[in-house]
Chain A
Amino acid sequence: DAGVTQSPTHLIKTRGQQVTLRCSPISGHKSVSWYQQVLGQGPQFIFQYYEKEERGRGNFPDRFSARQFPNYSSELNVNALLLGDSALYLCASSLDVGDEQYFGPGTRLTVT
């Protein structure tokens, strides 16, 4: 079975631009979570969705938003990009809320 997939793999954007990152969960998984990982640190929780509803939100500004589609895939949007948004963005899926989370390969975002 395919694991969690994310696209694109790498992305370079300019300050002030907007970006959309995509994630497809493992087949059968209904929960998707997003994390931001800055170099040298552990991942920080951004959002969690289950059955298309937001179930958790981390301490990130309103420039960050996400949604989950009927097929359980998800998008993370970041508006008005700042240099500090440069990071590895990880998507994770799980069968249900609270189950072990399986991570995708991540999208590396560079903001110049």
Chain B
Amino acid sequence: AQKVTQAQTEISVVEKEDVTLDCVYETRDTTYYLFWYKQPPSGELVFLIRRNSFDEQNEISGRYSWNFQKSTSSFNFTITASQVVDSAVYFCALPIYNQGGKLIFGQGTELSVKP
């Protein structure tokens, strides 16, 4: 089965706290990518990152970092020193390449950062 699970439905933190969003995936492919998207209240999905299954090095982009572990089928996303503007729904997604690259999304994690 090809599946993405984001077990955390809602997370609430106070500004400047660090927060980690979990993503667990299932795939029968030996080579695959994983994506993270941000969906602010406006509704538009914003692409954040694409990771290849060959590369398990952590990725850092400013306050954002991603930890990819094939052994646990997880691709977690950490926001350091969270800000109110980080409030959004975050989705982890798995592309299925033998079906045109369609994205399988998790249920999403709603992050609320309070001042």
Indicate, yes or no, whether A interacts with B. Answer: yes
Contact A33 B102 (CB under 8 A): yes
> Is B45 positioned at the interface, with any CB of A under 8 Å from its CB?
yes
Highest count of chain A CB atoms <10 Å: which of B42, B44, B100, B107: B100
Which residues from B are CB-within-8-Å of A99? Answer: 101
Which residues from B are CB-within-8-Å of A41? Answer: 107-108
> Is A73 positioned at the interface, with any CB of B under 8 Å from its CB?
no
Contact A101 B47 (CB under 8 A): yes
Produce 1/0 per residue, A29-50, CB < 8 A to B. 0010101000001111100101
> Is B35 positioned at the interface, with any CB of A under 8 Å from its CB?
yes
Which residues from B are CB-within-8-Å of A97? Answer: 97, 100-101
Identify A42's interface contact among B91, B95, B97, B101, CB under 8 A.
B91
Taking CB as reference atom, which chain A residue is nearest B108? Answer: A42
Cα–Cα distance between A112 and B73 once the two chains are bound (Å): 42
Which residues from B are CB-within-8-Å of A94? Answer: 101
* CB within 8 Å for A98 and B44 given contacts A42-B105, A42-B106, A45-B102: no
Identify A48's interface contact among B35, B47, B102, CB under 8 A.
B102
The count of residues in chain B whose C-beta lies closer than 8 Å to any C-beta of chain A is: 25
Which residues from A are CB-within-8-Å of B43? Answer: 88, 105-106, 108
Taking CB as reference atom, which chain B residue is nearest A42? Answer: B105
Highest count of chain A CB atoms <10 Å: which of B43, B45, B91, B108: B45
> Is A104 positioned at the interface, with any CB of B under 8 Å from its CB?
yes
Highest count of chain B CB atoms <10 Å: which of A58, A101, A102, A106: A101
> Is A103 positioned at the interface, with any CB of B under 8 Å from its CB?
yes
Cα–Cα distance between A75 and B42 once the two chains are bound (Å): 22
Identify A100's interface contact among B4, B50, B100, CB under 8 A.
B50
| Other contacts beyond A35-B103, A42-B91, A58-B102: 7, CB < 8 A | A42-B4, A45-B103, A48-B100, A50-B100, A92-B45, A98-B97, A101-B35
8 A–B pairs (Cβ distance < 8 Å), ordered by A: A48-B101, A56-B99, A58-B102, A100-B35, A100-B47, A103-B44, A106-B43, A106-B44
